[in-house]
Structure 1
């Protein structure tokens, strides 16, 4: 086992089953345990009602698509991150969650709006100016075949990688869209990747690497 022992990670998973929250989060449980985290899982948003538990957690990994979060749950989660708890996730599990909650949107810094039908081949481009970021080190442009997310984002996020929507009936010029980003929320760190609709997305080495690094970066 490597890393710092006795850190605590909480994996919150559920919501819409189309994003396969249990199967995909299970891919990362051994990784976290190997790096010294005591890992717990929760399949109910009621876990966000336990403010003390959240405050004692070093990293919350969320894969919860759609659904609704109560004001208390949202407030406790935001407060924990502001105080230093890390928050991380991918795809709809983090940016297609709790769409009606503006405080949650301010926490993540982005929200899913749409994607072209089905899975599409597209390229993810790390931002050259951020190549020294620990999440991106050594990662160049890479290709994926999955959903391509169109997102609304907070201008204060730190965009690490983008994807380009080509010209189509709705857009007469290409549109560059954030695909991976980080942000600070108080003293806490937030990591978001829009990639990860299906388990085999993480068979792409770059996707797996940046996701694993993002979890560690976000952690207290």
Structure 2
């Protein structure tokens, strides 16, 4: 019988095109198997409960677009600074709350993606090959959205994806795609991969996401 020693809170909602409930539901059994007592919330008001956030070991944030209040954002930021982990994927973590300084916490924000889905490759950084999130994984390709992001220089990039030369750029652009960072005593994991459920059927995507959740947790 699994003994729950840690608490996870999955906050999900916003624009439904990213299927936040369906995709996050796919990770609930994994978290429970890893010993987490898991709660879900589909209301950002949960971020107004500072004590609840402080008692949580991992927040999985799956909320696209929408608006966060300064109080909610500061409570979330304070919890992470004190040791609560924060993790998420794709638009659920970097295409939300383009106000009130939320992206100072995540270390990156979504700007655009080329129209539709196309095949593209993700490359792990050789110098980070021993990082527990990506150790032993090989580069891989996915047929999905490719995110162009703006990032904080103080992130630890684990994987990149390359955009080919196209107007208005005169050469290819190598873009951070998977990264971690610390925020005070807390850890943050971000993957830009995961627009649709079958993206997580790619073994590397599933594995690095699961490992990222565990890495971020207190």
- TM-score band by shorter chain is over 0.9
Instruction: Specify the alignment match of 1:155 in structure 2.
Output: 153
Alpha-carbon RMSD across the aligned residues, in angstroms, is 0.9
1:181 to 179, 182, 194: 179
For residues 27-53 of structure 1, the C-alpha deviation after alignment (integer angstroms, 9 at most, x for no partner) is 100000001000000000000000000
1:174 shift after superposition: 0.5
1: CA distance, partners of 2:10 / 2:97: 17
Separation in 2, partners of 1:133, 1:172: 33
User: Which residue number corresponds to residue 101 of structure 1?
Assistant: 100
Separation in 2, partners of 1:117, 1:76: 36
Give per-residue Cα distances to partners, 1:148-167, cap 9 Å, x unaligned.
00000000000000000001
Cα-to-partner distance string for 1:191-212 (whole Å, 9 max, x where unaligned) = 0000000000000000000000
Q: Identify the match of residue 166 of structure 2 among 165, 168, 179.
A: 168
Rounded Cα–Cα distance in structure 2 between residues aligned with 1:67 and 1:219: 25
Q: Please give the TM-score of this superposition, normalised by the length of structure 2.
A: 0.98
Per the alignment, residue 213 of structure 1 pairs with: 211
Q: CA deviation at 1:5?
A: 3.0
Does the residue aligned with 2:167 lie in a helix, a strand or coil?
A: coil
- Residue matched to 2:50: 51
2:76 pairs with 1:72:
no
Partner-residue secondary structure (3-state), 2:132: coil
**For 2:138, what is the secondary structure of its paired residue?**
coil
Compute the TM-score of the two structures, normalised by the length of structure 1. Answer: 0.97
Counterpart CA distance in 1 for 2:116 and 2:88 is 22
Give the Cα separation in 2 of the matches to 1:51 and 1:205.
36
How many residues get paired? 218
Moved over 2 A (4+): none
Equivalent positions of 1:111-126 (< 5 A) are 111-126=109-124
Q: CA offsets, 1:64-101, max 9 Å, x none?
A: 00000001000000000000000000000000010112
Q: Which position in structure 2 is the counterpart of 1:20?
A: 19
Matched with 2:136 is: 138
Structure 2's unaligned 5+ residue stretches are none
d(CA) in 2 for partners of 1:71, 1:156:
23
Deviation at 1:120, TM superposition (A): 1.2
Consecutive unaligned residues in structure 1, runs of 5 or more = none
Give the whole-Å Cα distance in 2 for the aligned partners of 1:12 and 1:79.
Answer: 17
2:6 alignment partner in structure 1: 7
Q: Deviations over 1:105-156 (max 9, x none)?
A: 1100000000000011100000110000000011111000110000000000
